[in-house]
Structure 1
Amino acid sequence: MAVGPFPGERATGSLGHKPTTSISSVTSTCSPRPFSRPSNLSRPLFGEIIPVCDLYSIANVVVFPSSPSSLSSSPPQSPSRPYSQQHGTGTGTVSHENTPPSPFIEALQNIGLGSPSWSASAISVFTIILPTANGYVTRSDFLKLRLQDFPYKILRSYEPLRPLQKYIATSPTPGPVTSEYDLASLVDSAAGVVQWEDLPTSVSFVDLEVYRTRLTEELRDRLHNAPWLSSTPIPRKRVALIRGRPNITAGGPVYRAAKALGLDLVIVDEEGHWLQADTEENKMHREAFLGTDMTEDAGVVDRIIESIVSYPLPIHGVFTLSDNFFVAVAQVAEALGLPASPVSAFETSVDKYRSRLLQNVPGQTARVSSVEELESLLSAGSSQQAEFIPRFPVIVKPTKGWSSECVSKVNNLGDLATAVQKATSRHGSAAVIEPFFDGPEMDVNFVLLDGEILFSEIADEPPCDADSRSATVHSTFSPEALTLPSALPSDEQDIAKSTLRDILVNIGFCTGVFHVEARMVNSSFEYRKQDDVVDLVRKHSQSLPDSGAECKLIEINARPPGYRVTVPTRHTYGVDYFVAHMLAAAGDKNRLRLTTKPYAHVLGDNINDAQRGAQYWSRLVYIPAPAAGTVQWPSKLAPCEALKRQRPDLADKIVLGVDYCVPGDKVELYTDGARTYVAHLLVVSRESRKDVIRLGDEVQKAFAIDVEAPSKASSELSDGETMVDLDGDGSE
């Protein structure tokens, strides 16, 4: 029996390689050494120290289920034969219970790894993580973050470091470990230890060597110079979150990130918020709750300031994830002298008319407060007529809004009033009329430090209903999926990043996390169906644009993307936007730089391509409500779980599934002009982008949720909440 390939690989041999005839032939520059027997081990073990980058070494340890005398100091005669055939191990073999105590095994058991009774029919593999220099812990869950969705199954892991504590590094010499006591000492001083899923004794020595090589290479890509430790002490700080999250699903990643960073979190929100009660569970999520009247009026800034000033302990930063509190929180930070971007920058970003003027098209952008004002603007006698001449199609949207709510694409003058009426009815704001920019839509996310891009990614948003040529004023811009990393050519990605970064810096945003939506006009790529998959592909030569590509801003969100998008980025790239957002708010520039290093993986064949950093292709699939009515779960299982059980062929491709509704919740097809979502799932592929899109399409088709029409719903069901915005504030 051979060890299987990494998920997504096509096996051409025992591990996706052609069969080999010698152990050394499968090694590479970062490969482990071939097996040899250390002279003084009291257990059948093999351990080796391997440097994987400047910041880390690892110790891979293999525990064999056989007596020490069965190991040979030279390569086996038949490397392709199973280990059990060469050494007679298997069911019925004497276990280790009668052998002397093993220091290494005892050290593992002391930290909760290994097994009290070692199996005689399996090979155990452990990896010890060893930073190469002393330092202070930037985040206590670093190893968990970097190893998420690892291609080989992790049975258990040990991560003993506390946030901010000092770690003293060991400097073991690379090469085989010659003492079990040395291995035990490494366990005691490790920053982390991982126990991988056991291998069968039927595995050949060649396959076992390939397994260790692959394991080492994968760890190298995940740990590659990503700092876990700071060379200088990290002062403990306290930050205030203005408006706590509406539920644990949306808030959990924020609270857990604060805890891992060693940031004390104070919540400022309305009386009666679910985090207010001083329960043991709530205390795990926040240090304190400051009940405050959050009515959005002229006095809200003063009330927030009063709550913060009255708190007996110092607060070093304030932040929010709620779009409608950006300006207020910036004003609070300014009044208290806390780190934040200028108030004027937030005032520009939240006003879609003002942000549109950053790339103004003369005569094609207008702002109106009512249909009557629109009619006046368009009337023949209007003095403004020469200033505004709409060229259809145009976009009409609220100057204040989010999640594509009440955004309309208008193809003719007759529908303009309908769109303006819809936009001005949302949030009591005016409507902005602006050009429709035709081209691939994208989300461009930044982590900036003093104007420098520490990390940036582009995700592709496939065409939605309103992008269709047959779209009407009632069609929506609600997204259906998001694909990471982008398929746009690297030069167009560079244009997008440089254009949008300059816009951010020019209006005053220099440090923080920013979620920017844009379109690439005159792109050399377009969405087209090819090989049964709709994706970005290069345009036919006759369709290539005459002029160069341009990036056109849609809107600026001075925050991380919402929960639905931030968590997939953490899975795909290993970068946590919530962590970066809080560190920016606390003014912790050192850790902001240290915590934004993506993986070192490369997708595809070009090592210089723009896809560096993603461990796989991922597709975030949005599930819209199939009908209006009351949610039911006939199988008694949540729909995401039911899908995985009914389609085991898809289950291992779904790394994240979140249901928004429970039985009894009432949903509508649309909420404020946007589709109502009932779930989202993150689907991944290590094979290709085409494969992940195909998988996403399969998941979307297979997902099932029952919604009973209002006339059929039982009157005994409790009134539920319409589920459209998981974050409760408009963020995705």
Structure 2
Amino acid sequence: MAVGALPSEKAAQASKPSIGFHNRAVSAPSQRLPLTKASPAHRSLFWEVIPLCDLYSIVHVVALPILQRPYAPAANGTQITSPSAKPSPFVEALQNIGLGAANWSQSAGVSIFTIILPSTDGYISRSDFLQLRLQDFPYAILKTHEPLPPLSRYSAIHPSPSKVNSEDVLAGLVHQAAGVVQWSDLDTSVSISELQDCLVRLTQELRDRLNNAPWLSPTPIPRRRVALVRGRPNITAGGPVYRAAKALGLDLVIIDDEGHWLQADTEANRMHREAFLATDMTEDAGVVDRIVQSIIDYPLPIHGVFTLSDNFFVAVAKVADVLGLPAPPVSAFETSVDKYRSRLLQNVPGQTARVASVKELESLLTSTGRDQVAPAFVPRFPMIVKPTKGWSSECVSKVNNLEDLATAVRKATARHGSAAVIEPFFDGPEIDVNFILLEGEILFSEIADEPPCDGDSSSATVNDTFSPEALTLPSALPASEQAIAKSTLRDILVNMGFRTGVFHVEARMINSATEYRDVGDGLVDLVGKQQNHQHSSIPSPECKLIEINARPPGYRVTVPSRHTYGVDYFAAHMLAAAGDHGRLRMVASPFDHQVDGRTPGAQYWSRLVYVPAPAVGVVRWPLKLSPCEELRRRRPDLAGNIVLGVDYCIPGDKIDLYTDGARTYVAHLLVSSRESRLHAIKLEEEVLRAFSISVEGQGKMVEDVRGSTEIECVKI
């Protein structure tokens, strides 16, 4: 073995780091890689051992086409058998794990492989760790090999450049690795300088994703079983939960009504859950006892119980309390699900009320307050009216006068049969703040910005909704205001009794230094306020709570957060329910990207766009493609920035403009940009304009949500 560096273009590399490679004898420096030689002196396999960080070492391996072809052209153009036609031990090792070219004899690209080697012994925290940490990698990945099952033990390999000195050793590392990545081939025209630059950038990106993310637990991980109450309505909403449970080695039991789609004992369903416990889920006084009995009757131990359904939070907390399973106190959930009680956590005396009917509202308004301990209710418009029990901005109204107040109360009390809460309208940027807490400690938190919706307008009426239109990650609030929001909301959670788990909190920043305004080309974003020098004193910013959801954000938001930060809220939620605090801390590690203008840990700016229903009618797919897939194929210029697209409707579905007092959506898409936040917003606008869905109904041609006429509405 002759050891040396990959031929370098010294002038081209003078101002940037380079990666040296061990190789099978190198030729003289060249502007292009030496791909036409096929003699024993010019073997075409190069590698480098790199201590990536404290947690991992990696080995980059570059395979040139000469290794992959049994024949190479002689000087006179005839074909001769290459002495290197004997199968390479490294190639054989790759083929044994399903990597490499399908036909090495026809592969003509420069192939790059990376072997991932944790630096310490330990136990596998989740089996799809690389898939999670490498998602949306800026360099295309062909295949990823993760051979280790969750909870199994891994013995660390400590490679050193002097010991990794043959293809046999490389082959051994392939079989001993925790993971191997095969990147998309580079063209054979790539220069040595370009190859080295690619590998340097690839190494830095790997470091940003793995530097602070342990894959291995230092102690054995006991196998646990968790029960999910309400098994999610379909595979789209439930898939991320089921896959996370499987990757974590958690045995998942579903508790739901008879007839749920996961009940049938099919091979497909067994991939998603261990068992299904048919239980009457009627929301009455006996539902807690029925769930408890189903768990007791199950022959295997259940170590945790959780739900993702808002109307079962209190019931599941009571189940956990009866069975002695990990969970926050029942009282915390009882406060969080009651929007009046949670509003009182930041009470505005005289401006917050709860009424069960319009008649009760009228009585409240005529009360003098003389015999009351609390100040009399004096409405100060604008105000917000919403059901004390509800979700998804259902029946939330902004009111500007007494007449509208009665209308809004009537609408809110009709939903879920609950009372209505009346509270101040807090004027300021709306934010979603997500937490992973462990005994009150913030393991991870993020803030996302909700741009103004119809109800935010100064001219909004009681009929306008607060249905979200988009979500931008990470937040553009000043760092000081983000710190205020996190501190304020964390303290509220802990004081309620929520000390461990995942929490999705909605809030507004009043007196913020930022505001939404047109930033050019009709785009609206959160930017610094224009200074008014006539005001000498500026009120301090405050964070005002809107509502608390003691769960991960909904599927539409949890998945974008996982893509943007590398943190899986569904995994964290289940680990908290199982009392697995060691792995809870591990899964709360975001990426380590540090980019000016972007919150640390975010790999890019992302924009989640909700596509509202354009008309009342029946959905059709004229091209036999879902709208999201059709968009990708029709607009390849946008496809590269569309991280994901989820359609909610299939042909034959009937849709309306509103559902339960909120906008009806037909899809959501996540777009990303590594260029800038504004670029992500521009891309979202283009995606929304280009989105096309056919709806058959009564009416004429309607316009798309942003003015396009690609959506058709045909009479039937």
TM-score of the superposition, structure 2-length normalised? 0.90
**Structure 1 residues 505 and 92: alpha-carbon distance in aligned structure 2, compared to 1, 3 A threshold:** farther
What is the aligned partner in structure 2 of residue 559 from structure 1? 551
Kindly state the Cα deviation for residue 709 of structure 1 after the two structures are TM-superposed.
1.7
What is the aligned partner in structure 2 of residue 684 from structure 1? 672
Deviates more, 1:225-234 or 1:166-175: 166-175
What is the aligned partner in structure 2 of residue 495 from structure 1? 484
Once residues 415 and 92 of structure 1 are traced to their aligned partners in structure 2, the CA distance between those partners, rounded to angstroms, is 89
**Structure 1 residues 582 and 88: alpha-carbon distance in aligned structure 2, compared to 1, 3 A threshold:** farther
Any idea what the Cα deviations from partners look like across 1:451-474, whole Å, max 9, x if unmatched?
000000000000000111111000
Which structure is richer in relative contact order (CA contacts within 8 A, separation 6 or more)? 1
Once residues 74 and 669 of structure 2 are traced to their aligned partners in structure 1, the CA distance between those partners, rounded to angstroms, is 46
* Paired residues of 1:60 and 1:125 also in contact (CA < 8 A): yes
Kindly state the Cα deviation for residue 634 of structure 1 after the two structures are TM-superposed.
1.7
What is the aligned partner in structure 2 of residue 541 from structure 1? 531
* Paired residues of 1:24 and 1:34 also in contact (CA < 8 A): no
Give 1:670's match in structure 2, choosing from 648, 652, 658: 658
What is the aligned partner in structure 2 of residue 585 from structure 1? 577
Deviates more, 1:270-279 or 1:42-51: 42-51
Kindly state the Cα deviation for residue 101 of structure 1 after the two structures are TM-superposed.
2.0
* Paired residues of 2:74 and 2:80 also in contact (CA < 8 A): no
Any idea what the Cα deviations from partners look like across 1:69-90, whole Å, max 9, x if unmatched?
xxxxxxxxxxxxxxx9xx999x
What is the aligned partner in structure 2 of residue 106 from structure 1? 92
Give 2:610's match in structure 1, choosing from 622, 636, 659: 622
* Paired residues of 1:20 and 1:26 also in contact (CA < 8 A): no
1:135-146 aligned within 5 A: 135-146=122-133
Once residues 455 and 88 of structure 1 are traced to their aligned partners in structure 2, the CA distance between those partners, rounded to angstroms, is 60
* Paired residues of 1:137 and 1:163 also in contact (CA < 8 A): yes
SS at match of 1:245: coil
Kindly state the Cα deviation for residue 38 of structure 1 after the two structures are TM-superposed.
5.4
Q: What fraction of aligned residue pairs are identical, expressed as a percent?
A: 70
What is the aligned partner in structure 2 of residue 569 from structure 1? 561
* Paired residues of 2:369 and 2:376 also in contact (CA < 8 A): no
SS at match of 1:363: coil
* Paired residues of 1:38 and 1:177 also in contact (CA < 8 A): no
Any idea what the Cα deviations from partners look like across 1:563-590, whole Å, max 9, x if unmatched?
0000011111000000000000000000
SS at match of 1:658: strand
Any idea what the Cα deviations from partners look like across 1:315-341, whole Å, max 9, x if unmatched?
000000000000000000000000000
Give 1:335's match in structure 2, choosing from 322, 347, 372: 322
Establish whether residue 467 from structure 1 lines up as the match of residue 461 from structure 2. Answer: no
**Structure 1 residues 44 and 561: alpha-carbon distance in aligned structure 2, compared to 1, 3 A threshold:** same
Kindly state the Cα deviation for residue 66 of structure 1 after the two structures are TM-superposed.
3.1
Kindly state the Cα deviation for residue 35 of structure 1 after the two structures are TM-superposed.
7.0
Establish whether residue 453 from structure 1 lines up as the match of residue 442 from structure 2. Answer: yes
What is the aligned partner in structure 2 of residue 25 from structure 1? 14
Give 2:396's match in structure 1, choosing from 407, 414, 418: 407
**Structure 1 residues 489 and 97: alpha-carbon distance in aligned structure 2, compared to 1, 3 A threshold:** farther
Amino acid at match of 1:575: V
* Paired residues of 1:53 and 1:220 also in contact (CA < 8 A): yes
1:280-679 aligned within 5 A: 280-379=267-366, 386-532=375-521, 533-542=523-532, 546-604=538-596, 611-679=599-667
TM-score of the superposition, structure 1-length normalised? 0.88
Kindly state the Cα deviation for residue 638 of structure 1 after the two structures are TM-superposed.
0.5
SS at match of 1:523: coil
**Structure 1 residues 523 and 88: alpha-carbon distance in aligned structure 2, compared to 1, 3 A threshold:** farther
* Paired residues of 2:121 and 2:154 also in contact (CA < 8 A): yes
Once residues 50 and 371 of structure 1 are traced to their aligned partners in structure 2, the CA distance between those partners, rounded to angstroms, is 70
Once residues 100 and 107 of structure 1 are traced to their aligned partners in structure 2, the CA distance between those partners, rounded to angstroms, is 14
What is the aligned partner in structure 2 of residue 15 from structure 1? none
* Paired residues of 1:41 and 1:178 also in contact (CA < 8 A): no
Once residues 518 and 113 of structure 2 are traced to their aligned partners in structure 1, the CA distance between those partners, rounded to angstroms, is 46
* Paired residues of 1:442 and 1:460 also in contact (CA < 8 A): yes
What is the aligned partner in structure 1 of residue 66 from structure 2? 66
Q: Paired residues, what number?
A: 671
Once residues 515 and 95 of structure 1 are traced to their aligned partners in structure 2, the CA distance between those partners, rounded to angstroms, is 64
SS at match of 2:131: helix
What is the aligned partner in structure 1 of residue 30 from structure 2? none
**Structure 1 residues 466 and 195: alpha-carbon distance in aligned structure 2, compared to 1, 3 A threshold:** same
Once residues 279 and 21 of structure 1 are traced to their aligned partners in structure 2, the CA distance between those partners, rounded to angstroms, is 62
Once residues 228 and 698 of structure 2 are traced to their aligned partners in structure 1, the CA distance between those partners, rounded to angstroms, is 39
Kindly state the Cα deviation for residue 97 of structure 1 after the two structures are TM-superposed.
9.2
Once residues 134 and 121 of structure 2 are traced to their aligned partners in structure 1, the CA distance between those partners, rounded to angstroms, is 22
SS at match of 1:355: helix
Amino acid at match of 2:695: V
Once residues 287 and 161 of structure 1 are traced to their aligned partners in structure 2, the CA distance between those partners, rounded to angstroms, is 20
Kindly state the Cα deviation for residue 21 of structure 1 after the two structures are TM-superposed.
5.2
Deviates more, 1:39-48 or 1:247-256: 39-48
SS at match of 1:687: coil
SS at match of 1:491: helix
Any idea what the Cα deviations from partners look like across 1:597-645, whole Å, max 9, x if unmatched?
000112326xxxx600011100000000001111111222110011111
SS at match of 1:663: coil
Establish whether residue 251 from structure 1 lines up as the match of residue 238 from structure 2. Answer: yes
Any idea what the Cα deviations from partners look like across 1:438-496, whole Å, max 9, x if unmatched?
00000000000000000000000000001111110000000000000001110000000
Once residues 509 and 65 of structure 1 are traced to their aligned partners in structure 2, the CA distance between those partners, rounded to angstroms, is 58
Kindly state the Cα deviation for residue 287 of structure 1 after the two structures are TM-superposed.
0.5
SS at match of 1:387: coil
Output the aligned Cα RMSD: 2.3
* Paired residues of 1:445 and 1:457 also in contact (CA < 8 A): yes
Kindly state the Cα deviation for residue 706 of structure 1 after the two structures are TM-superposed.
1.5
* Paired residues of 2:21 and 2:46 also in contact (CA < 8 A): no
What is the aligned partner in structure 2 of residue 11 from structure 1? none
SS at match of 1:130: strand
What is the aligned partner in structure 2 of residue 53 from structure 1? 53
1:64-143 aligned within 5 A: 64-66=64-66, 99-115=85-101, 116-119=103-106, 121-143=108-130
Amino acid at match of 1:181: D
* Paired residues of 2:22 and 2:47 also in contact (CA < 8 A): no
* Paired residues of 1:376 and 1:382 also in contact (CA < 8 A): no
Once residues 596 and 691 of structure 1 are traced to their aligned partners in structure 2, the CA distance between those partners, rounded to angstroms, is 28
Any idea what the Cα deviations from partners look like across 1:44-84, whole Å, max 9, x if unmatched?
1111110111000100000112379xxxxxxxxxxxxxxx9
Once residues 96 and 657 of structure 1 are traced to their aligned partners in structure 2, the CA distance between those partners, rounded to angstroms, is 48
**Structure 1 residues 325 and 21: alpha-carbon distance in aligned structure 2, compared to 1, 3 A threshold:** same
Kindly state the Cα deviation for residue 23 of structure 1 after the two structures are TM-superposed.
5.5
1:223-302 aligned within 5 A: 223-302=210-289
1:197-212 aligned within 5 A: 197-212=184-199
Amino acid at match of 1:121: A
* Paired residues of 1:23 and 1:205 also in contact (CA < 8 A): no
* Paired residues of 2:349 and 2:375 also in contact (CA < 8 A): no
Amino acid at match of 1:54: D
SS at match of 2:444: strand
Deviates more, 1:98-107 or 1:136-145: 98-107
**Structure 1 residues 534 and 446: alpha-carbon distance in aligned structure 2, compared to 1, 3 A threshold:** same
Once residues 694 and 705 of structure 1 are traced to their aligned partners in structure 2, the CA distance between those partners, rounded to angstroms, is 21
Establish whether residue 152 from structure 1 lines up as the match of residue 139 from structure 2. Answer: yes
Structure 1 segments unaligned to the other structure (5+ residues): 1-18, 69-83, 714-732
Kindly state the Cα deviation for residue 24 of structure 1 after the two structures are TM-superposed.
4.2
Any idea what the Cα deviations from partners look like across 1:115-138, whole Å, max 9, x if unmatched?
242446321110000000100000
* Paired residues of 2:22 and 2:165 also in contact (CA < 8 A): no
What is the aligned partner in structure 2 of residue 718 from structure 1? none
Kindly state the Cα deviation for residue 712 of structure 1 after the two structures are TM-superposed.
9.9
Once residues 251 and 392 of structure 1 are traced to their aligned partners in structure 2, the CA distance between those partners, rounded to angstroms, is 41
What is the aligned partner in structure 2 of residue 7 from structure 1? none
Kindly state the Cα deviation for residue 26 of structure 1 after the two structures are TM-superposed.
5.3
**Structure 1 residues 576 and 380: alpha-carbon distance in aligned structure 2, compared to 1, 3 A threshold:** closer
* Paired residues of 1:156 and 1:195 also in contact (CA < 8 A): yes
